[in-house]
Amino acid sequence: MNTPYRTGAVSALLLAASVFPAPASATIYQFDFTGQFTLLDPGGGFIDQQPISSMLTYDDGAGTGFSASLLIDNFITFGATATIYDVSLRRVTGSSLILGNMLADWNGNDGVPLSMVWDASGLFNAIGDGLQVGDVISGTDLSRGGSVIADVGSALPASDSLGLGQGPAPLAVTALNTSTLCTPGLDCLGNALSGGAPFSDDGIGGSPMVDGPFPGLNVNFDIGSGHSLTVSSIIPAPVPAAFWSFGSGLLGLAGIAGRRRTG
């Protein structure tokens, strides 16, 4: 299964988005979440599972921009603590998929690149239903004031096929593998944008690690799976002001994109 879309650095995404008319307004959603980290071997066998929690931010804008702060600390794999950072998430145009790229430090191995593709149907459907601060998406239920008000149709994580009992997740990792946008052993370590299109489907949850101590292992971060995605803030913001200020948080690349657009 291949899913075509524009690839490249986040700055390229911002540059591409800038050629379309800016919407009159955008909304920035911030969520606190819990979920599951699941590690699978190259054949799809189970290795480890640990709880995760952090925050992510989504700017709907024209429906084309996605960014997050997804700092996942202190899960234990092979007896050491890993830290995930430099996370960038980007919606695949015309779909409910999100591409994620990030780096991991583990047991003295720094800058190990990770990528994965989420089915974010639950998240996008919940936004379409009209979220309010305090709303909770847990599995496929959207709750407000302790009562379920909608079924948002969250997808099942691909790793759920192993009988791990996770259930649906607003952001569920798929079996899609990203193409490697770097050269293992040369420039993949420390490359926070290592994966992109085209995608392929190997039937195993996550996209195999391409460099570092465990090439071929599949990392899955299922967000809200059996746990929760809670709306902590909703900020209406004018565009283009919000577009550029939010983009500037993406590793400072928005300014570069803006100069290219006007240069």
pLDDT above 60: residue 19: no
Establish if 47 belongs to a structural domain.
yes
Q: What is the pTM of this model?
A: 0.77
Number of domains in the chain: 1
What distance in Å separates the CA atoms of residue 145 and residue 220, rounded to the nearest whole number?
30
Each residue of 169-187: b (16+ CB within 10 Å) or e?
A: bbbbbbbbbbbbbbeeeee
End-to-end CA distance of the chain: 38
The residue with greater pLDDT, 184 or 244, is: 184
Cβ neighbourhood burial of 97 (10 Å; 0-12, 13-18, 19+): buried
Establish if 193 belongs to a structural domain.
yes
Question: Do 208 and 262 meet the contact criterion of CB atoms below 8 Å apart?
Answer: no
Question: Do 224 and 15 meet the contact criterion of CB atoms below 8 Å apart?
Answer: no
Query: What pLDDT, in 10s, does the model give residues 97-130?
Result: 999 999 998 888 899 999 999 999 999 999 999 9
| Residue 110, pLDDT score | 92
Establish if 152 belongs to a structural domain.
no
Rounded to 5 degrees, φ, ψ at 198 are -75, 160
Establish if 111 belongs to a structural domain.
yes
Establish if 165 belongs to a structural domain.
no
Establish if 240 belongs to a structural domain.
yes
With tokens 């994580």, the residue in question is: 157
Mean pLDDT throughout 234-260? 50
Domain limits for position 65: 10-119+173-262
Query: What pLDDT, in 10s, does the model give residues 148-202?
Result: 999 999 999 999 888 887 889 999 999 999 999 999 999 999 999 999 999 999 9
The residue with greater pLDDT, 15 or 236, is: 236
Q: What is the overall mean pLDDT for the chain?
A: 79
Establish if 49 belongs to a structural domain.
yes
| Residue 64, pLDDT score | 43
pLDDT above 90: residue 249: no
Establish if 27 belongs to a structural domain.
yes
Rounded to 5 degrees, φ, ψ at 244 are -75, -40
Among 116, 106, 44, which Cα is nearest to 76's?
106
Query: What pLDDT, in 10s, does the model give residues 22-80?
Result: 444 588 899 998 888 899 999 999 988 888 888 888 888 744 444 455 555 555 666 77
pLDDT above 50: residue 220: yes
